[in-house]
């Protein structure tokens, strides 16, 4: 029955709702990864599997040559060829803004273990290390810059760690051997940062939660990799840094499904952060947006992806363009899905907070 199980597993969005919402709490995405690992030890993988599992590496190299990468992405003939040959649709565009160049313009201090080791106790207390991910660094570098600006405005010394591959796409596609190697390598690196006693924070929830979920289960990273915090977790712990912002603006939050499933308090944590800053944030209850990382880019899932989006997310989004600025979305794939089917790119919660903070300083 291996082929029938394979076909059935293709319908799994890896949203992880089964882990927290189902009474049985069986981790189907983890079983899917294990199944694909075993299945492809007997049956050949498609070229698409290798490409999508390597998206972090591919996007890194695309970011070195963004004009060339986007010329390919935007070319209709090439798009159709990629769809027909690989079964991939709606490839995202690499940002034309280089994160490295933008950080250089801001004269962000170079990240070295030696530099951080020489910080005084007070300097460490007021410091934070931002862990990069491929999706925000290469597709949405403006979000990384906005996060840097926001934390800097709060009085933190922000150090941005060098980019390294997380391995999440490898895990989703069942490349468990490669995933374990990457996880163990990253755990060793994070172990070097642990003695610094400086908070580690990530932007993209699906990546951050991989450190505390799949890393711990497969590579034994408990106590090390799970030190990487969601940004709202960090902000709540550092509540004394949060300024009060007098505003009547009301915001709405749509969360990433992994985030809501694996960190049940995550959305209320965002609400509490906004409340501490004097801003109203309403939580919108939604299902999966339908993108689900790689799922929505696979051509055979395109229609399902759109229907899932229309059945939940689309109903909650504003029809008035002037209201869009008040709808905030935590996940990269979710923001991409809104842009794909509704034609506009929502802001991240940090960007909503930063916009109000900048108004306060004017």
Residues 261 and 171 reside in one and the same domain: no
Residues 255 and 332 reside in one and the same domain: yes
DSSP state of 298: B
Q: Which residue has the tokens 């919660």?
A: 349
Q: Is residue 10 part of a domain?
A: no
Question: Residue 93 and residue 140: Cα distance in Å, rounded?
Answer: 10
- The pLDDT assigned to 360 comes to 74
pTM for this predicted structure: 0.95
Q: Is residue 109 part of a domain?
A: yes
Domain that holds residue 276: 243-361
Residues 217 and 261 reside in one and the same domain: no
- The pLDDT assigned to 178 comes to 97
Question: Residue 279 and residue 257: Cα distance in Å, rounded?
Answer: 24
The answer for 292, left when phi > 0, alpha when psi is -120 to 50, beta otherwise, is left
Q: Is 127 helix (H, G, I), strand (E, B) or coil?
A: strand
Query: Between the CA of residue 86 and those of 77, 89, 211, 318, 336, what are the distances in Å?
Result: 14, 9, 30, 35, 20
Residue 266: which of 199, 178, 202, 193 has the closest Cα?
202
- Read off the tokens for 72: 């390919």
Q: Is residue 93 part of a domain?
A: no
- The pLDDT assigned to 302 comes to 95
- The pLDDT assigned to 22 comes to 81
Residues 254 and 226 reside in one and the same domain: no
Q: Is residue 90 part of a domain?
A: no
Q: Is 325 helix (H, G, I), strand (E, B) or coil?
A: helix
Residues 196 and 283 reside in one and the same domain: no
Degrees, nearest 5: CA angle 216-218-221: 30
> How many domains would you assign to the chain?
2
Residue 347: which of 101, 188, 136, 66 has the closest Cα?
136
Q: How many CB atoms lie within 10 A of CB 185?
A: 14
DSSP string, 226-242: GGEEEHHHHHHHTGGGP
Stretches where the chain sits below pLDDT 70 are 362
pLDDT tens digits, one per residue of 106-122: 888 889 999 999 999 99
Residues 225 and 137 reside in one and the same domain: yes
Domain boundary among 202, 237, 272: 237
Q: Is residue 75 part of a domain?
A: no
Question: Residue 40 and residue 32: Cα distance in Å, rounded?
Answer: 12
CATH classification of the domain holding 325: 3.40.50
Question: Residue 55 and residue 133: Cα distance in Å, rounded?
Answer: 12
Residues 254 and 333 reside in one and the same domain: yes
Burial class (CB in 10 A: 0-12, 13-18, 19+), 153: middle
- The pLDDT assigned to 110 comes to 86
Domain boundary among 237, 267, 285: 237
Furthest C-alpha separation in the chain:
65
DSSP state of 156: -
pLDDT tens digits, one per residue of 64-113: 999 999 998 889 899 999 999 999 999 999 998 899 999 999 888 889 99
- The pLDDT assigned to 362 comes to 65
Residues 250 and 209 reside in one and the same domain: no
Residues 320 and 260 reside in one and the same domain: yes
- Read off the tokens for 230: 């969601």
Residues 224 and 108 reside in one and the same domain: yes
Residues 172 and 144 reside in one and the same domain: yes
Q: Is residue 314 part of a domain?
A: yes
Q: Is residue 188 part of a domain?
A: yes
- Read off the tokens for 26: 């069986």
Q: How many CB atoms lie within 10 A of CB 101?
A: 10
- Read off the tokens for 361: 């300083």
Q: Is residue 190 part of a domain?
A: yes
Residues 207 and 126 reside in one and the same domain: yes
Q: Which residue has the tokens 């596609």?
A: 173
Residue 30: which of 263, 264, 217 has the closest Cα?
217
Domain boundary among 204, 237, 270: 237
């Amino acid at each position: 029955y291996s082929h029938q199980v394979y076909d059935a597993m293709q319908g799994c969005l890896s949203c992880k709702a089964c882990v927290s919402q189902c009474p049985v709490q069986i981790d189907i995405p983890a079983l899917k990864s294990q199944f694909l690992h075993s299945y492809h030890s007997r049956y050949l993988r498609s070229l698409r599997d290798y490409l999508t599992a390597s998206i972090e590496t591919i996007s890194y190299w695309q970011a070195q040559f963004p004009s060339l990468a986007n010329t390919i992405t935007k070319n209709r003939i090439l798009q159709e060829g990629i769809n027909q040959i690989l079964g991939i649709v709606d490839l995202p565009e690499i940002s034309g803004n280089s994160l490295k160049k933008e950080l250089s313009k801001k004269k962000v201090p170079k990240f070295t273990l030696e530099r951080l080791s020489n910080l005084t106790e007070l300097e460490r207390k007021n410091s934070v290390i931002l862990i990069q991910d491929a999706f925000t660094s290469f597709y949405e570098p403006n979000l990384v810059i906005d996060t840097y600006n926001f934390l800097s405005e709060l009085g933190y010394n922000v150090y941005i760690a060098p980019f390294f591959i997380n391995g999440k796409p490898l895990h989703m596609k069942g490349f468990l051997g490669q995933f374990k190697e990457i996880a163990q390598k990253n755990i060793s690196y994070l172990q070097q940062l642990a003695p610094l006693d400086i908070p580690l924070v990530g932007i993209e929830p699906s990546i951050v939660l991989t450190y505390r979920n799949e890393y711990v289960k497969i590579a034994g990273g408990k106590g090390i990799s799970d030190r990487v915090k969601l940004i709202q977790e960090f902000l709540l712990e550092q509540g004394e840094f949060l300024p009060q912002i007098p505003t009547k603006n009301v915001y709405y939050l749509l969360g990433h499904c992994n985030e809501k499933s694996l960190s049940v308090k995550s959305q209320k944590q965002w609400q509490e952060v906004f409340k501490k800053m004097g801003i109203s944030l309403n939580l919108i209850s939604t299902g999966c947006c339908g993108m689900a990382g790689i799922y929505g880019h696979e051509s055979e899932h395109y229609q399902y992806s759109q229907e899932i989006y229309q059945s939940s997310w689309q109903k909650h989004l504003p029809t008035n363009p002037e209201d869009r600025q008040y709808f905030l979305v935590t996940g990269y794939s979710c923001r991409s899905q809104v842009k794909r089917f509704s034609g506009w790119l929502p802001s991240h919660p940090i960007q909503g907070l930063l916009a109000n903070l900048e108004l306060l300083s004017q």
